[in-house]
A and B are shown apart, each in its own frame.
Chain A
């Protein structure tokens, strides 16, 4: 009574039988060769993406750097022959400095506002039951996935002098709304656009915290505020940092939002850089600005990883 009998068919095909020939005896050389072969395979699999990024990303980045050392000639073209730092000197001009610090200030403001709004929200989210949590998350994701341009346009409509916001302020006797085309509108637009970027990492970090620790803290007579300051905040710091970086970086380099909501008076780095290419035709300056912006962002990101951040 063995299970291996199959009397009805021909002798069952022997499963992988013994090898026909002897294989080699194991040696360190074989082991090394096998490792090298695996390594090679990995490299080949990475190669298409690797090559693509080198060609269409690394090289363009280098070209930007090269251009930033170039000079704009009378016709608006770029001379790359004599390298100089003229384009970078432009950065020290008061106009550019103003633009830079304005952009920096707005980016910081946006980040802080997002943090203040998102943290309580994330905590609230993390303390719901799983079903409620999932539903709430989906409804956070929907605006996140909808078209960025449209979301900015919505505020343009709302904040217009004939828009619903203005009508409300007029009805309340506060007069017409003059928010549009001011830095306030830009910050509003940026917060609106990037709030989900703050919520998600914060939520992920808070959700990972063992909330038994919060209970323990209460049990040891800490007030809500103290619990927050001494338990929650430190433990959720990775999320705070991740979210801040995810909001700060795009805010600093924002272009679409300031264009739609900021108007001519509020020029930020993004718009200024674009004008160098489309209207002023001063490519070296545009390149130097872009490059500087990138270096700053790289710094911020390295800082993030130093503080123990994992994947973005």
Chain B
């Protein structure tokens, strides 16, 4: 016996909430990407808990795909941040106010 199923879901929800707050409040593109990572991590926690609850290994398989998508997203997102910083000299999304160079 570990813990009730919904306690794990509460933890996942709280972590997701922290990621959401990080995305919505920070004025820094890198912190925004970090917030997306936190939210994907919360989804992975929920999937693993569900896999244990229903004794279906599909949940764990989906976490594998979540990790793959997160890795791709970070690679492309950070490349975009680097390109945006090179063009405008800032990582503040409020400073991006031109549509073409």
Q: Do A and B come from one complex?
A: no
Residues of chain A at the chain B interface (Cβ within 8 Å)? none
